A and B are shown apart, each in its own frame.
Chain A
Amino acid sequence: MDGDRAALKYLPARLFQGRFNRPRLTSVLLWLAPLIFLLLFYFYPLGSILTVSFARAQGSILTPFIEALRSASIRGVLAFTFWQALLSTLLTLAIGLPGAYLLARYDFRGKSIIKALTGIAFVLPTLVVAAAFNALLGPQGMVNYTLMSAFGLEGPPIHFTNTLTAILIAHMFYNTTIVLRLVGDFWSHLDPRLGQAAEVLGANKWNVMRRITLPLLMPAIASAALLVFIFTFTSFGVILVLGGPQFATLETEIYYQTVSLFNLPLAAVLALIQLVCTLTLTIIYTRLVSGLSRPLSLRPAHITQRKITTWRGRFLAGIVILVLLSLIVAPLFALGFRSISNFERTASATARQGYGTPVWRGFTLDNYRELNINRRGSLFYARPTTTIAVSLGYAGATVVLAILLGLPTAWILSRRRSSFFSRSLDPLLMLPLGTSAVTLGLGFIVALDSPPLDLRASPLLIPLAHTLVAFPFVVRSLTPALHSISPRLREAASVMGAQPLTVFRHVDLPLVARALLVAATFAFTISLGEFGATVLIARPEYPTIPLAIYRLITRPGALNYGQALALSTILMLVAGVGMLAIERFRIADVGEF
């Protein structure tokens, strides 16, 4: 018997299947971890919140939906949610695709800066983005203050906050990096000779783009667009703070209904409508990507990239870089600058209190000093150092959890892509992506604060929620990399007698190390910035940074505004340092491919 086993080792891996059941058992075990996690922390809370809300429903189970959709205001909310997400996605693609092209195909100075900056923009909590645009274009922002002091005005000339433009620009700011990274990464490994082959066959640049490059990039563009759409579809902080009360999306409406009106049944119905929409989008996305993905022979980026040599190229590249930088840098700079600026308002006789022409009185660290002073004697006061430590701890735990759960999932998904098992479970695993953060938080509160699963006091509660949010991103970043590994490599390793685990360690793992780092970055940054779920489940004495900012920004007054900016600046720096460290680690230790 043992002799037979030994002989089997030298046969191609294909021949094992069905005869040798060890790999299959491993697969099942690998499936179980993420499955149990989702059952406990996704389906159970979701089920709980639905049970609670439908308990009061009369007649058929569909009645609450029909009633909700009959209401003109809910239909308006639904329409606006789609409309702003669509506009945001198109605008983000419009600015992201030229940038992705530039980053993918050219090697130029300042490239890593653009990557890092857009990455930092992405990790900032929506609240910080909102604060940053507020610091740039808001009524107390840099631009308005500069114009006011230059022309002696007593009111802000530019009305930016509480407009659709503000929402769209903040969404572009926030999501451009998704296009840059997903599309740019794929593009940088796309064989440029495909374009050259087309060119020699008579295709001009436009035809090469339209008929070769774009179709080949479609999976990457589609997945980036869909991520941006789902992101903006369930966007919370930006709409809440920059949009103001006249713009309501499903997400903010769920929040209002839950927190302000305690109308849980309606909140649940809205959450379910949102879930159906995003799930549909996710299924479309999955079908789209699996239909479009091809075994491309990817090339190392250093082969596909070249220097910009023509002046026309330099000019166009300059414009793209300038637009990207001003979109990203201007608000961040304004945030930092405004947080250390001392403005004094010289009120004229007619002006109301707190109004008047602002005059710049130099730099001050008052806003930062105030963070350590508990003026109101608030019970839930937390020092910023504690807040930062709490946030970093949660983020670290989230990275570990998300990778531990995401890696086996991605591995299975990439190996058994065509099986019924995989095709039906793939969108299921992506469900948390389509579930709003507010709904997740609410589910945790309803389900996890009483036996059998009482986690109210557990420090793991927030990392678990953050892992749920980060999980789809981790899986999405890992699966394509694992999938792109030629099965022949695995077969080669198997034929040489390697066990499945050994194959994974020596073949798959080194090849996906880069994707793994991207995934870890996602998990880390999502955790640092997560707000919607955290706002509902965090223990008040241990607030995360976004939570502390939210507390400050919701209180009126120039002092709170200044403190919010100061704390936002700190979060921006913490996230930026983390991001740069990962970026640096990646270049230093893992060479590309």
Chain B
Amino acid sequence: MAALSALDIHKRFGETYALKGVSFEVATAETVAVLGPSGCGKSTLLEIIAGLETPDQGDIQWNGSSLSGTPAYRREFGLMFQDFVLFPHKNVYQNVAFGLQMHRLPDDRIEKRVFEVLSLVGLPGFEKRDVNNLSGGEAQRVALARSLAPHPRLLMLDEPLGSLDRNLRERLVVDLRDILRNSQQTALYVTHDQEEAFSLADRVVVMNAGRVEQIDTPQGIYRRPASVFVARFLGLNNLITGTLHRNADEFVVDTPIGRFRLPDDVVRSSAVFNIGMTEFSSGDRTPVTALIRPDAVTLNAEQANVLHGSVQEISFRGSTCRATIHVNGTPLTFDFPASSALPKAGEDVALSFEASQALQIFPEDS
């Protein structure tokens, strides 16, 4: 059952809509990441869930009951800010103890819990340190300890790694995931970084311009992006406009780089049709955007759909090589295993793919 439910949340600041009907759920002990570019409304969403802002419309519920009359300080949620916002006039111990003091715990239990969370986040012995002299990574851990200390029903993290450098971020993502898993913490994680979201979250909510684009597991989102926006956001850039029509018993999509046959399941699972395919008669032509996945194409002509192009550039990326190949003047990028025999820049190559593996179609305007 869902612990947290956001139901059709709207919020407007003056003339601009920050949120336009956002709904999703977070289950107990689950980590959900809200992923989207900056300005998509994800921070406003957190503030509304925390009770720091009120929605214009919609409701936030906990275990099925509305929180609309509950002020932030009674929600028993935790919120970790992007730049941590540690209390500058308190030391590490006092920062972590603050939430416990607000819940009127006896001093000995506060002390026990502070030591407990500080060792959980890997900072034992930091109690007396001045928070103004902590490194970025240390401040991040203190902020995490502070939000975890009062055992929040829901921990919200607003770009908690956003202000840290890349190496530190990669290490802390792992630590953070372990901490959240081990403490069975229900968590909502807001970020613009897909790697962070994918490595931390059980499920991901992709947001764009105040709306939810897709909710799925990280694998599900990567395997099957729900819209052109999501595909682009994930860096899947082989997007070609074309027309979809029915040719006898099968669907085909005509594009500037060729005609591809589509299996029924690719068409059915796409957002192009809300109606059954039987109603799509053979004369109809629908504009669509087709995605060719960069990692599902082989360097031979053995599979069903074949492309011919010239290699523009090859760049080495560790386990894979990324090739930019012009097909009929359209630049496409593909990832091949680095171990395979690779063409050189300037060579003409043949490529092939199975439509069910590599091809996806979206309504044109999405």
Seen from chain A, the residues whose Cβ lies within 8 Å of a Cβ on chain B are: 191, 193-194, 196-204, 207, 211-212, 215-216, 292, 294-297
Contacts and interface: CB of A to CB of B under 8 A. Distances in A.
A203 B87 contact: no
B88 A295 contact: yes
Residue in A191, A193, A292 whose Cβ sees the most chain B Cβ within 10 Å: A193
Interface residues of B, number: 27
Given A294-B89, A296-B88, A297-B83, A199 B78 contact: no
A294 B75 CA distance: 31
B102 A207 contact: yes
A202 B150 contact: yes
Contacts of A201: 73, 78, 98-99, 102, 146-147, 150
B52 A200 contact: yes
Contact of B52 (A199, A204, A215): A199
A216 B89 contact: yes
B89 A202 contact: no
B103 interface: yes
B102 A203 contact: yes
Contacts of B85: 191, 193-194, 196-197
B193 interface: no
A295 B130 CA distance: 12
A200 B73 contact: yes
A201 B87 CA distance: 12
Contacts of B77: 200
Contacts of A203: 73, 98, 102
B71 A202 contact: no
Interface in B61-111: 71-79, 81, 83, 85, 87-89, 98-99, 102-103
A199 B76 CA distance: 10
Nearest to B52: A196
Interface string B289-301: 0000000000000
Nearest to B146: A201
A451 to B, nearest CB: 55
8 contacts: A194-B87, A200-B52, A200-B72, A200-B78, A201-B146, A211-B98, A212-B87, A295-B88
A216 B83 CA distance: 18
Contacts of A193: 81, 85
A193 B71 CA distance: 16
4 closest pairs, A vs B, by CB? A201-B99, A202-B102, A200-B79, A199-B72
B57 interface: no
A216 B132 CA distance: 14
Main secondary structure of the interface of A (DSSP, over half): helix
Contacts of B99: 201-202
A538 to B, nearest CB: 47
Contact of A196 (B72, B98, B146): B72
A294 to B, nearest CB: 5
Nearest to A193: B85
Interface of B: 47, 50-52, 71-79, 81, 83, 85, 87-89, 98-99, 102-103, 132, 146-147, 150
A202 B51 CA distance: 12
A106 to B, nearest CB: 16
B223 to A, nearest CB: 36
A212 B146 CA distance: 15
B71 A204 contact: yes
B161 to A, nearest CB: 17
Given A203-B102, A207-B102, A295-B132, A198 B87 contact: yes
Contacts of A296: 88
A215 B95 CA distance: 14
A284 to B, nearest CB: 19
A483 to B, nearest CB: 14
A294 B131 CA distance: 11
Contacts of B132: 294-295
A201 B110 CA distance: 14
Nearest to B149: A201
B79 A197 contact: yes
Given A200-B73, A203-B73, A204-B73, 16 more contacts: A191-B85, A196-B72, A196-B79, A198-B98, A199-B52, A200-B50, A200-B51, A200-B79, A201-B98, A201-B150, A202-B99, A202-B102, A202-B103, A204-B71, A207-B102, A295-B132
Contacts of B89: 215-216, 292, 294
Nearest to A197: B85
Nearest to B133: A295
Nearest to A216: B89
Nearest to B86: A197
Contacts of A204: 71, 73
A216 B146 CA distance: 19
Residue in A197, A292, A296 whose Cβ sees the most chain B Cβ within 10 Å: A197
A212 B87 CA distance: 7
A196 B158 CA distance: 13
A200 B150 CA distance: 11
A201 B147 CA distance: 7
A304 to B, nearest CB: 13
A361 to B, nearest CB: 53
B38 to A, nearest CB: 15
A525 to B, nearest CB: 33
Residue in A198, A207, A215 whose Cβ sees the most chain B Cβ within 10 Å: A198
Contacts of B76: 202
A591 B324 CA distance: 48
Contacts of B150: 201-202
A215 B90 CA distance: 10
Contacts of A292: 89
A297 B146 CA distance: 19
A18 to B, nearest CB: 24
Contacts of A196: 47, 50, 52, 72, 79, 85
A197 B95 CA distance: 11
Given A200-B79, A201-B102, A294 B88 contact: yes
Nearest to B84: A197
A485 B103 CA distance: 37
Nearest to A199: B72
Contacts of B146: 197, 201
B117 to A, nearest CB: 13
Contacts of A216: 88-89
A199 B74 CA distance: 9
Contacts of B83: 297
A211 B85 CA distance: 15
Contacts of A211: 98
Contacts of A295: 88, 132
Nearest to A204: B73
A366 to B, nearest CB: 53
B74 to A, nearest CB: 8
Nearest to B80: A197
A280 to B, nearest CB: 26
Nearest to A292: B89
B73 A197 contact: no
A285 B19 CA distance: 48
A203 B103 CA distance: 8
B148 to A, nearest CB: 11
Nearest to B54: A309
Nearest to A294: B88
A203 B102 CA distance: 6
A198 B51 CA distance: 12
A191 B89 CA distance: 13
B87 A202 contact: no
A149 B72 CA distance: 57
A200 B132 CA distance: 21
Nearest to A202: B102
B200 to A, nearest CB: 20
Nearest to B96: A201
A203 B88 CA distance: 17
A82 to B, nearest CB: 30
